[in-house]
Chains A and B, each alone.
Chain A
Amino acid sequence: MKQFAELFERLDQTNKTLEKIQLIADYLQQACDEDKLWAIALFTGRKPPRIAHTTLMRQWAARCAGLPVWLVEETWHTVGDLGETLAGIIPDTSENNRNQGTLHEMIHQIVTIQSLKDDSEKERKVTAIWKSLSRKERLVFNKLCAGSLRLGVSQGLLVKAIHHAFQIPEEVISRRIMGQWDPFTTTFKELILQPGENDNIAKPYPFYLAYPLEEETDIKNNLSGWLIEFKWDGIRAQIIQRKKELFIWSRGEELVTDRYPELHFLKDVLPDGTVLDGELLAWKENKPLSFQLLQKRIGRKTLTRSLLSEIPVIFMAYDITEWQGLDIRNKPLSERKEILYGLVSSVHSPALLYSPVMNAETWDQVLHFKSLCKGNGSEGLMLKKTNSPYETGRKKGNWWKWKLDPFTIDAVLIYAQYGHGRRAGLLTDYTFAVWNEHQLVPVAKAYSGLTNEEITELDKWIKKHTIEKFGPVRSVEPFHVFELAFEGIQQSTRHKSGVALRFPRISRWRKDKTVREANTLQDLKALLQTTGQI
């Protein structure tokens, strides 16, 4: 428990990914197998049963510390975190810090206490444990008891740490820790160390990624050698069916199979040895829903029925890299498309779609296809050479992405804040506003888009023209106008203006414009109406 509490504290103290990986790997190497297993269980969101309702826990802690319950609650409102509050109000005496129990022993104690019928018996046991732990151990213990331990470690990071500690390939670890397993019934050896015959069945292919279109002449001169597709604005993903198991990988190389139950039927309908490349999209009435809605699905571990019906997800397939157990990445794209089309047609499901392929004879036709993007919810076109293989990583030449021109508005700089990392010490985080009648209302924050010279010039100007400082934020005289480019606009209840811009960045410093010439909120609301992304 001491070591795990130490790990918890140190993870809390760093934002650096490499340090986190090292800390977890170190812990896993020195902990006993039972603790290793439980640490992995906790990192993947598994938890022991909750001992008691938090109201009871507050009463027990109050009695243990000799304080009235109201004072514990007042303190909790200031501290903000209940586990932390209860850990902090119990006095640390020389009696504390004598508990030598390890993580898994502590969890087994929690299970025993949870199963007790009598609340006063539970209280007696919990109080005894509190008194035997140091403050930072109590914090972890409380969070374990309340089922609220959050470690801020992503699955990808945990996988890297386990890989670092035991030299097992990352995709194998991902698969093992993602599946259904229970720390109460399995062992660390079974879960992580024992090689299985199906270890490699989850292994994805590296994604082939396109560059933004640079030069259209080659394409114009040989249109028949190119296929055109819509560029979908979802989550790039790979679907693998091997040996009757299904795996869905996102581009972040995270195994996300559990999050998309509407695709689990593919396990039974795709033939063994199939790997598809495509896009996960939130989809309703033959159209993608906004990326904002899809994002609601990304973060959720528990999927409610209402969420699933509100935001159903489909897979828009546009390539196939493995077929009948063979790697077919070197076959020309046109052949792969044929196989894919045949497969998607035979599956015949509204949850597996074939991304339409278009051929153009004239450049005007290409431009026509591009004009369709706004209406069908895609974000532009993909241009792919008909005979291209499926390459590895980001490569130029065979595939290009051609996004729609961004929207632009002219907005006024009103707040500035210090930047981070490379830009620390310079005021580089800007907030921009547009007019709402006679008031400037903030609509976007933007960090990038200016040259270093412009940043330095603006930094100096801001320092001279600061009106007020609120903590790290400075308000400045409304004077400078900037053209902001953005990808879309959405209704927002979180922003005072009622709208949120998607991926805003500075495209130009409009020194030629005065603040009165900036856009209005009405302009933005009109745009919201026409693009219809609500």
Chain B
Amino acid sequence: MSDLIISTPYGLYCEPADIFLDPWQSVPKAIITHAHSDHARRGCGSYLCHHHAKPLLKARLGDINVQSVEYNEKIIINGVTISLHPAGHIPGSAQIRIEYQGKVWVFSGDYKLHHDGISTNFELTPCHVFISESTFGLPFFQWPPPDQVFQEIQRWWMKNKSEGVSSILFAYSLGKAQRLLAHLQISDSPVFVHGAVHTMNEACKAAGIKLPETLRVSEVYDNRLFKGALVIAPSSANGTPWLRRFGPYRTAIVSGWMALRGARRWQAADRGFVLSDHADWNALNAVVKGTGAGKVFVTHGYTETFSRWLCENGIPAAVLHSQYTGEQTTETETAEES
């Protein structure tokens, strides 16, 4: 039997259902795992995603033809059974399960195991073939407990605040920014957000996710209000004139890449906090094993290294070409806010 999901110049493709998964070119029908720009692109005829992803997709892609479903809800197309299962990556993120003629394939999209307070928890989905990401697929990447990281961020912010210095956190505008808002104790201090983060906050609220109130930086006319405050912005704002209004400030990047000392220095931030919405080395291994898959494809990240490691451990694995990027050291999609 030929492969149920293959890599084409347009994207990952399921032939019997004639549908693309997270395509990187315009196609008639697309199923989307989540709303990050490397997985959800413009120009497709119709989109299918989870209910929570729908407002996020619309916020990112504009007025698109999009249908949404619940997790575990079965859709049958040409005898192919398709369902979405929580991936725990960001709100509305899903793994795509495809069953056809007794064979089950699962495409993970991006995923993590930690509960993040805003996304539905990852759900292990047994399958014959598992298509996994490997953004952090090296044994060096082993995340510290997120609660410990949130405490470190809180302490950093409070110390800056006591010195009258603003704290600028650079984080992905979709997912990471809301995760920070959900975990930091912000009851008695206002938190300001960059326009890109604001847009995503609103979209998350439309998806029914509860977030604390924040103020948009561009709506503040008195820069003194920023004194000692917390500001959340995409990393593309680092080193731009946008930062000028904050007076004395310290910057920190919140990313899995901050596990690398060199990455923080290269990006010239004062601090780096190791927090990722992707599975670390141990989680990748646990999930791959847990699915019981007899064959694994790796789409992005350290694909060659991770698949060689899996093969040596008795799990046949290969690289499946894709154009996904996973977590990047800077977020490239955010428009500059004037």
Contacts and interface: CB of A to CB of B under 8 A. Distances in A.
Interface string A64-81: 010110011011001111
Contacts of B142: 88-89, 91-92
A84 interface: yes
Contact of A75 (B140, B270, B282, B312): B140
B309 A71 contact: yes
A78 B138 contact: yes
A425 B243 contact: yes
State the 7 A-B residue pairs at the shortest beta-carbon distance, nearest first: A425-B241, A88-B140, A89-B139, A75-B138, A75-B140, A425-B244, A74-B305
Given A72-B139, A92-B144, A418-B240, 8 more contacts: A71-B305, A75-B138, A78-B138, A81-B262, A91-B142, A418-B239, A424-B244, A472-B239
Interface in B271-327: 271, 282, 302, 305, 309, 312
Interface string A466-499: 0000001000000000000000000000000000
Interface of B: 138-142, 144, 239-241, 243-244, 259-262, 264, 270-271, 282, 302, 305, 309, 312
Nearest to B264: A13
Contact of B139 (A75, A135, A426): A75
Contacts of B305: 71, 74-75
A425 B240 contact: yes
B140 A85 contact: yes
Contacts of B241: 425-426
A424 B237 CA distance: 12
Contacts of A89: 139-140, 142
Contacts of A472: 239
A14 B244 CA distance: 21
A12 interface: yes
Nearest to B260: A79
Contact of B140 (A12, A14, A79, A425): A79
Contacts of B244: 424-425
Contacts of A84: 260-261
A424 B139 contact: no
17 contacts: A13-B270, A13-B271, A71-B138, A72-B139, A74-B138, A74-B302, A74-B305, A75-B138, A75-B139, A81-B261, A84-B261, A85-B140, A88-B259, A89-B140, A92-B142, A425-B241, A425-B244
Contacts of B260: 79-80, 84
Given A75-B138, A78-B140, A79-B260, A424 B309 contact: no
Contacts of B240: 418, 425
Interface residues of A, number: 26
A368 B318 CA distance: 77
B292 to A, nearest CB: 22
A74 B308 CA distance: 11
A424 B239 contact: yes
A67 B139 CA distance: 8
B251 to A, nearest CB: 11
Contacts of B140: 75, 78-79, 85, 88-89
Nearest to A76: B140
B257 to A, nearest CB: 11
A92 B282 CA distance: 11
Contacts of A81: 261-262
Interface of A: 12-14, 65, 67-68, 71-72, 74-75, 78-81, 84-85, 88-89, 91-92, 135, 418, 424-426, 472
A78 B309 CA distance: 16
Nearest to B242: A425
Contacts of B271: 13
B239 A68 contact: no
A71 B139 CA distance: 8
Nearest to B243: A425
Contact of B261 (A12, A68, A92): A12
Given A424-B239, A426-B241, A80 B262 contact: yes
Contacts of A92: 142, 144
A460 to B, nearest CB: 12
A12 B262 CA distance: 10
Contacts of B261: 12, 81, 84
Contact of B270 (A14, A78, A80): A14
A13 B144 CA distance: 18
B128 to A, nearest CB: 26
Nearest to B143: A92
Contacts of A75: 138-140, 305
Contacts of B139: 65, 67, 71-72, 75, 88-89
B82 to A, nearest CB: 35
B246 to A, nearest CB: 11
A200 to B, nearest CB: 39
A418 B241 CA distance: 9
Contacts of B302: 74, 78
Contacts of A135: 144
B160 to A, nearest CB: 13
A80 B239 CA distance: 25
A13 B267 CA distance: 12
Contact of A68 (B138, B243, B312): B312
A426 B240 CA distance: 8
B254 to A, nearest CB: 15
A67 B241 CA distance: 46
A108 B264 CA distance: 33
Nearest to B269: A13
A12 B258 CA distance: 13
A478 B302 CA distance: 40
B222 to A, nearest CB: 20
A176 B305 CA distance: 51
A376 B142 CA distance: 61
Nearest to A426: B241
Given A65-B139, A79-B140, A88-B142, A424 B243 contact: yes
A24 B111 CA distance: 42
A418 B238 CA distance: 11
A450 to B, nearest CB: 18
Nearest to B141: A88
A68 B312 CA distance: 9
Contacts of B264: 13
Nearest to A80: B262
A223 B163 CA distance: 58
A79 B262 CA distance: 8
Nearest to B139: A89
Interface centre among B138, B244, B259, B312 (most CB of A within 10 A): B138
Nearest to A134: B144
A287 to B, nearest CB: 41
Contacts of A85: 140
Nearest to A425: B241
B2 to A, nearest CB: 32
Contacts of B243: 424-425
A92 B244 CA distance: 40
A72 B309 CA distance: 11
Contacts of B138: 71, 74-75, 78-79
